[in-house]
A and B are shown apart, each in its own frame.
Chain A
Amino acid sequence: MLKVEHLTKMFGGLAAVNDVSVEFEAGKINAIIGPNGAGKSTFFNLISGLHQPTSGRILLDGEDVTRMPCDQVARLGVGRTFQTTNLFEQATVLDNLIVGHRLRTKSGLWDVLINSQRLQREEKAARDKAMEALDFVGLTNVAGKFIADITQEERKRVAFALALATDPKIVLLDEPAAGINPEETEGFATLMRKMVDNGLTVCLIEHKMDMIMSLADKIMVLDHGEKIAEGTAEEVRNNPVVIEAYLGGDEDAAA
């Protein structure tokens, strides 16, 4: 599904992501973990085309997307969420979601001027898609509320729905469970399983270990921009290098 080969991103002299190779299989939940500053978000930014890598290759279903601009990568089916999502606060949840399907539509200025058939058709499709995404994340009851008036957890679900409205093949979720309570976290785990059941590939960054360990099919561990381990939850949990990175700061402290 998504194959990354020797990916490196340098910021000045600092390697934020250093020679990372990994493959994410379709229909699986893949997790990326690692201490703060390990380069996890940068890794996502490289895949989604927000940043251009210094070297290495990114293949999506065999197609080279390494140098592609972000909007084209999105059109090829990479949806994503951010740690914080800025939405239009004084507009309804539904209104915020309609634009999610924009990348599958073609209407331009002329269509707006003459209110063309195509525009009407596409706007209906976008609205339907937004409703479908809202239904998927379980938020149809707040469709008419302003973003400013919904809870933090609902906001996170709206961000999910927005990514889903783009009709992605793979979704990159940047800390979906940050800042929400354990019960809500369980709800998000269920939601991610539901995504996979519906044929999506999920790739997430997360710090909540309980959730990751029970949820992820495959875990990649980054530390200082390098991949230090990958495998199932069991393999990663017992990997001495991982334990070292998370718990044993002794050598770092000494040096």
Chain B
Amino acid sequence: MLFKLGAMLMTPGAKLALLVFAIVFPFLASNEYQVYVMASAFVWAIAVYGLNIITGFCGQLNLAHGGFFAIGAYTLGLLTADAGWSFWPAFVAALVVTAVLGFFVGIVSLRLKEHYFAIFTLCVGFIIYLLIDKWEELTHGPIGVRDIAEPYGFGLVDFTETTPFYYLVLAFLVFAIWFMGRLSRSLLGRTFIAIRNGDELAQSLGINLMRNKVLAFVLSTTYAGLAGALYAGMVRFIGPEEANIVHTFDMITYLLVGGIGTITGPLLGTVGIVWITQSLQFLEEYRMIIFGPLLVLLVIFFPRGITGSFLTWMHRKAQSVAPEKKRTESKVTTTRTREAENNA
């Protein structure tokens, strides 16, 4: 029974249903604020997908991710507010800047392995925060950046309204997930996973470690830059706090809860936790009393997050169901499950 329900969840139909829900959500929402919360959850989800590439697939714990998010936001903010650029050119520039900076940080930091890499990127993240906070001539320091341009809709839509902006973010999110799915199934995604399994084994399979790690890193910072630029366009006022390390750890939490290294995990984790946080808002800081134990339980019982544990359970179930039937039939089931897994 549960198994059949699970199998239904893994069909392309379920994906379509999810998309339809996201599209009609603004009409279901009781007020504009809910649409705004959902849009901001989507923005964070895009950044979490970026983290999923370098940490989930390639296995390198990047703690500078929040820093790159802030760089994306500040590039857009400063170019529109101070340099007088309009939104879309600045938006493209934000992607380019985070990609290029990601490349240079990548070729230095990725020479380090495992926790050394994590500590190094932790420092990079903090340096980014310090630069934003202290370099007042460029970033206005703690005052932050005001008057960030809104995205213009080429006369068709008005993105200053919450709902159109929601759809803009949704479009980018769909693209981000689509690309992630394609990447994970491709030989390139498999190359990243091989690196996660172990540097030495990957090398002995003829994989150039540095080139592939840097590629994964640049992809992840570009995702962070994309999310940061959308964030700046949404809130239109940013400060050094955007580069706070707390954001990086929030994103890691979203990733772990949803399912690290999976396709739907980052979305589930981010949207789920953002809404739980919202509904526990009345508890203020005390909500951590609920969050903490919840997280501990999750890590103990579902180490691969919601999506990862679900997929493992489905696969085992499919394998154990198979022998009861005829051989030929079992083959069909397993291939079907595998296809479904790829879709999920």
Contacts and interface: CB of A to CB of B under 8 A. Distances in A.
Contact of A99 (B182, B190, B219): B190
Interface string B312-337: 10011001000000000000001100
A180 interface: no
B205 A112 contact: no
Contacts of B193: 88, 91, 99
B96 interface: no
B187 A122 contact: yes
A151 interface: no
B281 interface: no
Contacts of B298: none
A52 to B, nearest CB: 13
B204 A90 contact: no
A87 interface: yes
A181 interface: no
B84 to A, nearest CB: 33
Contacts of B190: 95, 98-99, 102
B197 interface: yes
Nearest to A91: B193
Contact of A71 (B203, B315, B335): B203
A138 B240 CA distance: 59
B65 interface: no
Given A74-B204, A99-B194, A144-B334, A90 B186 contact: no
Interface stretch (B15-23, B123-131, B206-214): B206-214
Contact of A107 (B187, B198, B200): B187
Interface in B192-242: 193-194, 196-198, 200-201, 203-209, 215, 219
A126 interface: yes
A70 B204 contact: yes
Contacts of A87: 197
Chain B interface size band reads 35 or more
Nearest to A78: B204
Interface string B298-312: 000000100010011
A162 B204 CA distance: 10
Give the interface centre of B187, B209, B312 by most chain A CB atoms within 10 Å.
B187
Contact of B201 (A85, A98, A103, A146): A85
A249 to B, nearest CB: 33
B183 interface: yes
A5 interface: no
Contacts of B33: none
Contacts of A119: 186-187
A162 B183 contact: no
Interface residues of A, number: 44
Main secondary structure of the interface of B (DSSP, over half): helix
Contacts of B196: 88
Contacts of A123: 186-187
Interface string B47-67: 000000000000000000000
B220 to A, nearest CB: 13
B264 interface: no
Contacts of A75: 206
Nearest to A97: B190
A82 interface: yes
B179 interface: yes
B288 interface: no
A100 B207 CA distance: 9
B270 interface: no
B338 interface: yes
A71 B197 contact: no
B198 to A, nearest CB: 4
Contact of B182 (A79, A90, A103, A112): A112
A175 to B, nearest CB: 15
A112 B311 contact: no
Given A82-B200, A86-B197, A149-B319, A74 B206 contact: yes
Give the interface centre of B197, B206, B335 by most chain A CB atoms within 10 Å.
B206
B187 A102 contact: yes
A36 interface: no
A50 interface: yes
CB-CB nearest 4 A-B residue pairs? A103-B206, A74-B206, A70-B203, A99-B190
Given A69-B203, A86-B198, 17 more contacts: A50-B203, A69-B208, A71-B207, A74-B206, A88-B196, A88-B197, A90-B311, A99-B190, A99-B191, A99-B193, A99-B207, A100-B205, A102-B194, A103-B205, A109-B188, A112-B186, A123-B187
Interface of A: 48-50, 69-72, 74-75, 79-80, 82, 85-88, 90-92, 95, 98-100, 102-103, 105, 107-109, 111-113, 115, 119, 122-123, 126, 144-146, 149, 162-163, 166
15 contacts: A70-B203, A71-B205, A71-B206, A74-B204, A80-B204, A86-B198, A88-B193, A90-B311, A90-B312, A95-B190, A100-B205, A102-B194, A113-B179, A122-B187, A166-B205
